[in-house]
């Protein structure tokens, strides 16, 4: 009788989550700066009704006089595994304490570890000395933003395909990829891309929450209090592999949130506790990776308000212990220029409407706020993508207007304004249809026929040879219609789509002159510029776009 009573008491406490202390385990005693320490917690899940709402995990990490608060997260569907991640940003000893709270019972764990110097570059941030450009927090190396779009990268059912896509993009010098954790579409025909469809290898139905009908496009039956852990673990794999390749992942919380069952909150529940939990879970899970930045939503204005974006931006900034860059993708307008949570300004302005003049005007509007920030045209027309929208009638009628070579010309214009851009490869080779060897801007996969990014790799190579973050637009020094960046009387970069190139220089100075073909990357050293007549001019008529780099000797 006594034995049965003892068993009943033990079982009572077990069911109520009080009998078993979590098994705490630290990843390693020594961690590289800008890597992350991980504290793993295993527990008997009995008595935990919902591990995503019933368990709270907090950590307090101290380094000298600085203390950082970090939240943990559930990393198993049944509630048996939890993790807390922390990214040390300085060398030295860290002392920390973790609290695991379940069913009113608090379990504590204390330990320490050593953070050592490493070659990791650290998260991106705004260069305070040159605030229209980016720099790595750790290495202080400047970051030349050369991004592309792969919204449904997580739609691949085989991790190997995702990793191969990242490898290929890295081989072209891509250093930032836009990836959505949440999106649902019936197929590429949604954007006139008819050869990208559902298949055995790929799905448009991303399920960040548990669902009663995950394959139902419009009514998946999301339980927004329970995350689909396997889906989030796929993003871990993507971020980790991208980190090894030197690529930043721009984490998008919604892509086309107005479509189908993508948005389970709708406007009436937007910004409330359940949606905040969504953003908080992402911050807890990925905020210790060095190679991420946050995008509150893609085209937020189609399904949310300005007030909502501001609220979620502030909330995410508070949740992210790693203090990563945050912005939001909208249209050609950006009403958040003064918002302190915004770290860079993102636009969607298509074709020539988003080119040089547009970006120069955006810099002017930003300067009027008294706060300079990097300006990025995040979406200006994908390769070969002729939708019904764009910059006037030319968007659908001009032959080859959205070919890779023309997209790269527009990108050159943006860079020559001191701005940045994000491109997207053609989807014409298809997924689940057509040749089934591509996917491009939709899911990131490509083949050897897709060469557009070679043009962008040449751009990156050119700019990374220069102190581009110090160079300013200087159209007064060149022919009308040509574009120039310069450090006056020191260094000039001229981009021309005209038949001639001429630049005004200080009389008596001597400059080396390099000519670069932006489509082949071929560099040719020309005779020095001896400015006895206060200018230099290329002696031949040009028949294609060309780049000239002049540097004072």
Hey, what domains does the chain have and what are their CATH numbers? 2-116 (2.60.40.10), 124-467 (3.20.20.80), 471-552 (2.60.40)
pTM for this prediction: 0.95
Tens digit of each residue's pLDDT (9 = 90 or more) over 206-248 = 999 999 999 999 999 999 999 999 999 999 999 999 999 999 9
Strands (E), 13-149: 23-26, 30-32, 37-42, 55-63, 66-71, 73-74, 81-86, 92-102, 105-116, 124-126, 134-136, 142-143, 146-149
- For residue 258, give the H/E element and its range: none
CA dihedral (146, 443, 336, 402) positive or negative: positive
Tens digit of each residue's pLDDT (9 = 90 or more) over 79-117 = 999 999 999 999 999 999 999 999 999 999 999 999 999
The number of angstroms, rounded, from the C-alpha of 1 to the middle of its chain's C-alpha atoms is 63
Residues present in the chain in total: 553
Cα atoms in the 13 Å half-sphere on the side-chain side of 224:
18
* Cβ burial 151-179 (10 Å sphere, 16+ → b, else e): bbbbbbeeeebbbbbbebbbebbbbbbbb
Are 313 and 296 spatial neighbours (Cβ–Cβ below 8 Å)? yes
CA atoms of 428 and 500, how far apart (whole Å): 36
CA atoms of 258 and 304, how far apart (whole Å): 9
Instruction: Chunk the chain into consecutive blocks of 10 residues (it has 553) and report each block's average pLDDT, rounded to whole numbers.
Output: 43 47 96 98 95 97 97 98 98 98 95 97 98 98 98 98 98 98 96 96 98 97 98 98 98 95 95 98 98 97 97 98 97 96 97 94 98 97 82 64 90 98 97 98 97 97 98 94 96 95 91 96 94 86 96 94
């Amino acid at each position: 009788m006594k034995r049965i009573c003892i068993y009943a008491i033990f079982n009572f406490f077990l069911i109520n989550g009080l009998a078993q202390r979590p098994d705490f385990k630290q990843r390693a005693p020594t961690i590289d700066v800008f890597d992350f320490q991980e504290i793993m917690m295993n527990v008997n899940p009995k008595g935990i009704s919902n591990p995503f709402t019933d368990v709270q995990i907090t950590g307090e990490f101290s380094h000298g006089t600085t203390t950082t608060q970090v939240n943990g997260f559930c990393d198993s569907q049944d509630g048996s595994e939890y993790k807390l991640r922390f990214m040390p940003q300085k060398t030295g000893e860290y002392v920390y304490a973790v609290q695991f709270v379940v069913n009113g019972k608090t379990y504590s764990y204390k330990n320490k570890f050593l953070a050592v110097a490493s070659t990791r570059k650290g998260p991106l941030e705004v260069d305070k000395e040159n605030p229209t450009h980016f720099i790595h927090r750790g290495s202080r190396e400047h970051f030349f933003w050369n991004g592309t779009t792969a919204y449904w990268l997580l739609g691949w059912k085989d991790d190997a395909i995702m990793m191969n896509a990242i490898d290929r993009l890295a081989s072209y010098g891509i250093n930032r990829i836009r990836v959505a954790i949440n999106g649902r579409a019936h197929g590429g025909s949604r954007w006139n891309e008819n050869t990208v469809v559902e298949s055995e290898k790929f799905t448009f139905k991303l399920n960040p929450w548990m669902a009663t009908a995950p394959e139902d496009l419009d009514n998946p039956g999301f339980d927004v209090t329970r995350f689909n852990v396997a889906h989030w673990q796929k993003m871990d794999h993507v971020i980790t592999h991208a980190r090894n390749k030197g690529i930043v992942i721009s984490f998008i919380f919604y892509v086309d949130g107005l479509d189908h069952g993508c948005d389970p909150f709708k406007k009436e529940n937007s910004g409330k506790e359940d949606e905040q939990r969504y953003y908080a879970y992402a911050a807890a899970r990925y905020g210790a990776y060095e190679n991420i930045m946050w995008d509150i939503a893609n085209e937020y204005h189609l399904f949310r308000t300005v007030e909502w974006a501001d609220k979620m931006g502030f909330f995410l900034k508070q949740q992210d212990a790693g203090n990563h860059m945050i912005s939001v993708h909208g249209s050609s307008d950006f009403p958040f220029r003064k918002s302190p949570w915004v770290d860079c300004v993102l636009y969607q302005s298509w074709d020539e409407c988003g080119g040089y003049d547009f970006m120069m005007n955006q810099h002017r509007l930003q300067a009027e706020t008294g706060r300079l920030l990097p300006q990025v045209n995040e979406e200006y027309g994908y390769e070969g993508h002729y939708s019904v929208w764009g910059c006037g009638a030319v968007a659908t009628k001009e032959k080859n207007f959205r070919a890779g070579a023309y997209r790269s010309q527009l990108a050159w214009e943006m860079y020559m304004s001191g701005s940045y851009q994000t491109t997207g490869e053609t989807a014409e080779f298809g997924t689940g249809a057509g040749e089934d060897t591509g996917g491009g801007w939709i899911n990131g996969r490509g083949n050897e026929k897709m060469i557009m990014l070679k043009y962008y790799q040449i751009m990156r190579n050119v700019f990374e040879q220069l102190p581009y973050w110090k160079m300013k637009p200087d159209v007064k020094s060149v022919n009308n219609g040509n574009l120039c960046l310069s450090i006056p009387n020191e260094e000039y970069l001229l981009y021309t789509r005209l038949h001639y190139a001429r630049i005004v220089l200080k009389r008596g100075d001597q400059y080396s002159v390099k000519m670069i073909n932006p489509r082949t990357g071929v560099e040719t050293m020309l005779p020095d510029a001896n400015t006895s007549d206060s200018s230099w001019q290329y002696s031949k008529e040009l028949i294609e776009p060309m780049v000239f780099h002049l540097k004072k000797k």
